[in-house]
Structure 1
Amino acid sequence: MKRLLLIALLMIGLFMGLAGSPAQAGNSANGAKLFNANCAACHMGGNNVILAKKTLKKEALEQYGMASIDAIKNQVTKGKNAMPSFRGRLNSLQIEDVATYVLEQSQMGW
């Protein structure tokens, strides 16, 4: 009986630990390197040299529904309007790293 109770408590603890853990984010330091090599020409300092109002600043990301890792990953992967797709140039882990870096920088004010 004690063994069954112990197993049940361990399972509950394991479940609670997994359910409460945040989603795995990318590597921001690697994202910074990739951003500087691939994105900074158009987005230096979180700006946008093509469409000035669509920056990578927190307010703009929120306004345009881009204030999440998934939204940024989608944009980088598929491209949109003047922004090219980086699928094929960056792999999915690199894209996640860039997205993590961009979101982190936007939250810190670039």
Structure 2
Amino acid sequence: MNTLLKALRLLVCLLTIAIVTVFSARPTNAANLANGAKIFNANCSACHVGGNNVIIANKTLKKEALEKYEMNSLEKIKAQVTNGKSAMPAFAARLTKAQIEDVASYVLEQSQKGW
């Protein structure tokens, strides 16, 4: 019985450690939204101030437009920022992958908040 109790205590301890590890771990590539805001203001806001688009008025960064043009995912926004398209220039040579991740995450979050 004493051995069984020790084994049970050990199991509870290991499960507690596992649960704490899983729920407190932050992904190593988690976006920095404050940095994304800075990057947006320095590189994007001239054309996209307030989530609008001064070049092509209907292709805003607002939630409805992102959904309409199927740009409402982090991967698609990152691809657009990286490669550019139409009147939008590519930023792959100007921004690091981490900066692109940050600004894309910021854009997606702002679209969901309504800018």
Q: TM-score, normalised by structure 2?
A: 0.77
Partner of 2:58: 53
- Runs (4 or more) in structure 1 with deviation over 6 Å come to none
RMSD: 2.9
Q: Does 1:82 align with 2:91?
A: no
Q: 1:27-46 to 2 correspondence within 5 Å? A: 27-46=32-51
Separation in structure 1 between the aligned mates of residue 79 and residue 94 of structure 2, nearest angstrom: 14
Query: Structure 2 regions of 5+ residues with no counterpart?
Result: none
Q: Which has the higher contact order (CA 8 A, sep 6+)?
A: 1
Aligned to 1:72: 77
Q: How far, CA to CA, are the matches of 1:65 and 1:101 in structure 2?
A: 17
CA distance in 1, matches of 2:28, 2:112: 18
CA distance in 2: counterparts of 1:61 and 1:50, whole angstroms: 16
Answer with 1 or 2: which has the greater Rg: 2
Identity percentage over the alignment?
66
Deviation at 1:24, TM superposition (A): 4.8
Structure 1 gaps of 5+ residues are: none
Letter in 2 for 1:56: L
Cα distance, 1:65 vs structure 2: 1.0
Deviations 1:32-65 (A, max 9, x none): 0000000000000000011100000000011111
Distance 1:64 1:23 in 2: 30
- Equivalent pairs, count: 106
> Does residue 1:102 correspond to 2:107, yes or no?
yes
Distance 1:106 1:23, change over 3 A: farther
